[in-house]
Amino acid sequence: MGVWRSYRLRLQRRRWLIRAFRKRRDLRAIANRTDQIRKSDLLLFSTMRNEGIRLPYFLNYYRDMGINHFLFVDNDSTDGSLDYLARQPDVSVWHSKSSYKRSRFGVDWLNWLQMKYGHEHWCLTVDPDEFFLYPFCDTRPLRALTDWLDASSIKSFGAMLLDMYPKGRIDAQPYEAGQNPLEIASWFDPGNYMIQKNPQYGNLWIQGGPRTRMFFPDEPERSPALNKIPLVKWNRRYAFVSSTHTLLPRGLNLVYDEWGGEKASGVLLHTKFLDTFSTKAQEELERRQHYAGSKEYIAYADGLQDNPDLWCKWSEKYINWRQLEILGLMSKGNWA
């Protein structure tokens, strides 16, 4: 990469950081318990809106994994999730009434919080419907992974988004608070992911899965990106560019090996497709606050009316991370 391009990217990163700094004024602290954060704590960052029903399971899942402190931005929820979060002893939560879109889909807010609280911490950035899996996650806590990454001088860890869906109509089984969403949405597409390299930022661009198969069969280029880098040893100079798909500086995006080997990687189980989805899709369609003019949600609304069953004969039922490893969706790399 030429000096000029790397200088341009540097300027761009500065710009995102300044923007994040300006956007800090969108945020009002409701419960700020960040004084509890100790030096080596593992932090989780998330933005959400009206996801109250998912929170109890979400928090427990990540507490069990070994997250020490949660930092949430609540984008003006109306379902009481703000109060619920404020009551949790290990959660700090900020409230924002401002536009999700104008904050670049929450990225500015999280960049700011990470700049302020995430410096020198391992930070996991996930949505409330995403469940992080890493190799050996059933026998080793998250700290084992971050210690290993530290020892290997690795600063970022990739985890592809894997869309989970139920068999039958999406709204056939209602989801209840505290329930493991994987009991309902337990199926996934095992092998239809398309990969390209993004020359500008050096990350991989992955598309495919049930959303491409069902909602974008005629214009696959529009289907959502599935590559994510949720776990980063944060530095206040880092910035997410678009969601957790891309980071700057560029080197953080190199979570894949280019010389034939496999690096260690995880998976984010994406449990978007529960019965709550149809109403959510409708609502988001009206708010028009999502990426690319909410194209995705328009496609969902169309697709859902015709045939809400994402399941097919070749869908695979989720068992554990080892299954995903064998299928080639994630890898142990040289962690053994």
Partner 1 sequence: MSVGIIMLVHTALGRAEQVARHWAKAGCPVVIHVDAKVPRKAYTDFVERLSDIDDLAFSLRHRCEWGSWGLVAASQDASELMLSKFPDVRHVYLSSGSCLPLRPVEELIDYLAERPRVDFIESATTADVPWTVGGLDEERFTMRFPFSWRNNRYLFDKFVDLQRAVGYRRRVPRGIVPHMGSQWWCLTRQTLSAILQDPRRHVYDRYFRHVWIPDESYFQTLSRLYSTTIESRSLTLSKFDFQGKPHIFYDDHLQLLRRSDCFVARKIWPHAERLYNAFLGDAEAQASRTEPNPGKIDRIFAKAVDRRTRGRPGLYMQSRFPNWGWENGLTAGKYSVFQGFSELFTDFEPWLARATGTQVHGHLFGPDATNFANGQSVINGALSDSAAIRDYNPRSFLTNLIWNTRGERQCFQYGPTDTPEINEHFARDPNAQISVISGAWAVPLFKSNRNFGEIRAEAAQLQKIEAKMLDELRSPDAKARIRIWTMAEFIEAPMEPLQVIIDEIGQKSVRRLSEAPRMENLAGFGQFLQNLKNQGMHPYLMGDFPVDPPQRHGASRARRPYLVKK
What does the block give as tokens for 110? 């999280």
Q: How far apart are CA 132 and CA 266, in angstroms?
A: 7
Q: Which lies closer to partner 1 via its Cβ, residue 255 or residue 269? A: 255
Going by C-alpha positions, the residue among 208, 184, 183, 182 that lies closest to residue 195 is 208
Check binding of 147 to partner 1 (CB under 8 A).
yes
Check binding of 202 to partner 1 (CB under 8 A).
no
Q: Which lies closer to partner 1 via its Cβ, residue 166 or residue 210? A: 210
Check binding of 210 to partner 1 (CB under 8 A).
yes
Check binding of 52 to partner 1 (CB under 8 A).
no
Q: Which of 2, 89, 199, 260 is close enough to bind partner 1 by CB under 8 A? A: 260
Check binding of 315 to partner 1 (CB under 8 A).
yes
Task: Find the shortest distance in angstroms from Cβ 297 to partner 1.
Answer: 20
Q: How far apart are CA 256 and CA 96, in angstroms?
A: 35
Q: Which residues contact 249 (CB under 8 A, 6 or more apart)?
A: 9, 10, 13, 237, 238
Check binding of 139 to partner 1 (CB under 8 A).
yes
Q: Which lies closer to partner 1 via its Cβ, residue 97 or residue 313? A: 313
Task: Find the shortest distance in angstroms from Cβ 238 to partner 1.
Answer: 20
The DSSP code for 224 is P
H or E, element range at 133: strand 130-133
Going by C-alpha positions, the residue among 164, 162, 125 that lies closest to residue 271 is 164
Q: How far apart are CA 17 and CA 262, in angstroms?
A: 32
Q: How far apart are CA 63 and CA 7, in angstroms?
A: 40
Task: Find the shortest distance in angstroms from Cβ 145 to partner 1.
Answer: 10
Q: How far apart are CA 88 and CA 52, in angstroms?
A: 13
User: What are the distances in angstroms from CA 253 to CA 154, 241, 256, 274?
Assistant: 11, 11, 8, 31
Instruction: Please choose, out of 8-16, 24-32, 125-133, 145-153, the segment that lies near partner 1 by the rule CB under 8 A.
Output: 145-153
Residue 249, preceding peptide bond in cis (omega within 30° of 0): yes
Contact mark string toward partner 1, 217..256, x via CB under 8 A: xxxxx-----x---------------------------xx
Q: Which of 76, 120, 257, 283 is close enough to bind partner 1 by CB under 8 A? A: 257
Q: Which of 3, 11, 151, 319 is close enough to bind partner 1 by CB under 8 A? A: 151
Q: Which lies closer to partner 1 via its Cβ, residue 115 or residue 254? A: 254
- Residues at the site binding partner 1, with contacts judged by CB under 8 A: 136, 139-141, 143-144, 147-148, 151-152, 158-160, 189-197, 204, 206, 208, 210, 212-213, 216-221, 227, 255-265, 312-316, 328-336
